[in-house]
Amino acid sequence: MVTPIDIIKKKRAEAVNRIISKGYLSTKRVYVGMATCEIAAGSKEVMGEFRQAIANGLTDVYLSQKGCAGRCNLEPTVEVVEEGKIPVKYGKVTPERAREIVERHLKKGEVISEWLI
C-alpha cells in the first residue's frame, strides 16, 4: 500500500529535481524580496533589472523571488547565495545598485561590502 508519506517523499524528490532543472545548482543564487512591503520599497524594479541582465546573457545565475524576511527599514533586500561561501545580503537595493550587483558581484565575484546588511 502506498501511504501518504510515500507519496509526499516522491513529490519532494520530483520538486527538487524541477528546481535543479531550473538551474538551482548554478554557482550563484539570487533572491529578491517580493512581499508587499518590499514591492512598495521598489523591489519590482530591482527584480526587473536582474531579469533584464539574464535576458541580456547573464548565465550561471538562479533567480528567485522570496517573501519578506522582516528587515523593514532596509528593504528592498537581495541575497546572493553561493555554495561554500557565506551568503551575501544586500539592503536598500535600488535599480542602480542592482545593475552594479550584476556587474561587480555576479559577473566579477566582488562583494560590495558597503551595501551589506
Note the residues at the interface with other proteins (CB under 8 A): 2-5, 7-8, 11-12, 15-16, 18-19, 31, 33, 35-37, 39, 64-73, 77, 79, 81, 83-87, 89, 117
**Pair 80, 106: CB distance under 8 Å:** yes
Q: C-beta of 95: minimal distance to other proteins in Å? A: 20
DSSP 87: P
Closest distance between other proteins and the C-beta of residue 17, in Å?
A: 9
**CA 30 to CA 96: how far, in whole Å?**
16
Nearer to other proteins by C-beta: 96 or 104?
Answer: 104
The 10 Å CB-count burial string (b at 16+, else e) for 57-88 is ebeebbbbeeebbeeeebbbbbbbbeeeeeeb
Nearer to other proteins, 96 or 116 (CB): 116
